[in-house]
């Protein structure tokens, strides 16, 4: 991302699953470029489902006013005047890509602009996305002192940006994968160390395994473990604090995730096994995009039920999880025997694991057996 900032005419697109840290990356980059020469004027816009191309620029103007008040550079007066000049353009009913180019160029001539357009995938209008492509091409062709960073949920750049093929040359493509075990362990250890608390390697490993590569859950469980350790007067996390943290994490999980789980596993039959099959899916080995084959569910399901299982024993459950009556909570890729499945909301996957521990369907020994297969 910083390479895109240094390259005049270059912009960036950050893409990946929800919850992997895309917005955090943009925040860190914005802080860096605002505080080292040449200082950039950083503005972040959060898109919503009712946004159009024009409404994004109304948000830009409002946020630019806020950011100009705290801009650390030495030309705040010139910056404020430039923002005032673009008010009429930003607040017009219709805004064209050239209008937006003028806005950014006017402000950029005072100080370089670092513009983050976050949650870009939420903009429903295909035409609006094409207009952003036109804007990026205009900025790049004219070497405007502006870096635009598009951030959104997608498997690839094509899922976010459409329009000119030539803008691919002006875009630094930044895929955000799930974090690795070493990275998450560092997050956990450094976070607790800032409060003077250590965590044994065994407990740290369990916490990282449960997070499934998503930093949100490492922060949640790690913070709760530290909280319970402090309340207990300890400077090292103990197993009881880990258990308490898991129980509290279930209670603090968003209502949206909880409701998705309930909808997916609801059944009037006690032998329906939706909960245990979903838990096996959460343990299944996935590819780089988070998809798993039914065959990858067979071994975790066998471990959890302590009985050798075949794909036929649970394939109807996988298909049911793709039905609107249960969410859906899976999307698919491929057909027939090559069909792959993936959690639509990645944050549901660790919740399934944590709840499995809390309610006794899953143990650390089970996880070790699955990992050793």
Q: Is the CATH number of domain 181-252 1.10.3470?
A: no
Average pLDDT, the chain: 91
Q: Name the band, by pLDDT with cuts 50, 70 and 90, for residue 165.
A: low
Residue 163 reports pLDDT greater than 90: no
State yes or no: pLDDT of 127 exceeds 90. Answer: no
State residue 271's pLDDT score. 65
User: What's the pTM?
Assistant: 0.84
Return the higher-pLDDT residue of 11 and 35.
11
Tokens describing residue 289? 């995009």
Q: What local confidence, expressed as pLDDT, does residue 369 receive? A: 86
What are the domain boundaries of the chain?
A: 2-176, 181-252, 255-372
pLDDT at 161: 76
| Predicted local distance difference test score (pLDDT) of residue 20 | 87
User: Model confidence at 74, in pLDDT bands (50, 70, 90)?
Assistant: low
Same fold across 2-176 and 255-372: no
Fold for 255-372, please state it. Answer: Arc Repressor Mutant, subunit A (1.10.10)
Confidence of residue 203 (pLDDT cuts 50, 70, 90): very high
| Superfamily the domain 2-176 falls into | P-loop containing nucleotide triphosphate hydrolases (3.40.50.300)
What value does the mean pLDDT take over residues 120-132? 89
Q: What is the pLDDT of residue 18?
A: 85
pLDDT exceeds cutoff 90 at 36: no
Lowest mean pLDDT among 115-124, 160-169, 194-203, 327-336: 160-169
| Higher-confidence position of 9 and 104 | 104
The pLDDT of 42-56, averaged and rounded, is 95
- Asked if the model's pLDDT at residue 132 lies above 70, the reply is yes
Is the pLDDT score of 306 beyond 90? yes
The answer to whether residues 94 and 88 touch, using CB atoms and an 8 Å cutoff, is: no
């Amino acid at each position: 991302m910083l390479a895109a900032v240094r390259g005049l005419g270059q912009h960036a697109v950050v893409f990946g699953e929800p919850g992997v840290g895309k917005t955090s990356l943009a925040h860190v980059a914005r802080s860096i470029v605002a505080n080292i020469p040449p200082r950039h004027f950083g503005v972040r816009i959060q898109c919503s489902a009712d946004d159009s191309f024009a409404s994004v620029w109304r948000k830009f103007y409002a946020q630019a006013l806020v950011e100009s008040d705290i801009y650390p550079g030495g030309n705040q007066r010139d910056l404020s005047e430039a923002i005032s000049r673009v008010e009429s353009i930003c607040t017009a009913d219709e805004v064209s890509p050239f209008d937006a180019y003028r806005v950014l160029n006017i402000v950029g001539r005072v100080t370089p602009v670092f513009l983050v357009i976050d949650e870009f995938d939420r903009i429903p209008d295909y035409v609006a996305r094409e207009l952003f492509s036109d804007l990026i091409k205009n900025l790049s062709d004219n070497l405007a002192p502006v870096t635009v960073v598009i951030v959104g949920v997608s498997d690839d750049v094509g899922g976010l940006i459409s329009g000119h093929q030539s803008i691919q040359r002006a875009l630094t493509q930044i895929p955000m994968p799930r974090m690795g075990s070493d990275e998450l362990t560092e997050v956990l250890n450094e976070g607790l160390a800032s409060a003077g608390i250590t965590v044994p390697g065994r407990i740290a490993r369990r916490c990282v395994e449960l997070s499934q590569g998503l930093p949100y859950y490492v922060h949640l469980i790690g913070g709760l473990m530290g909280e319970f350790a402090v309340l207990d007067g300890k400077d090292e996390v103990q197993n009881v604090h880990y258990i308490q943290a898991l129980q509290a994490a279930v209670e603090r999980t968003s209502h949206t995730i909880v409701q998705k789980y309930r909808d997916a596993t609801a059944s009037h039959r006690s032998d329906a096994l939706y909960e245990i099959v979903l838990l096996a899916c959460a343990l299944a080995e996935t590819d780089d995009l988070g998809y798993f084959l039914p065959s990858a569910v067979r071994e975790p399901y066998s471990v959890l039920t302590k009985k050798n299982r075949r794909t036929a024993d649970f394939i109807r459950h996988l298909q049911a999880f793709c039905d609107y009556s249960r969410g859906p909570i899976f999307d698919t890729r491929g057909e027939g025997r090559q069909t792959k499945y993936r959690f639509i909301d990645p944050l549901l996957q660790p919740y399934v694991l944590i709840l499995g521990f809390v309610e006794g369907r899953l143990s650390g020994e089970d996880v070790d057996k699955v990992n050793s297969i």
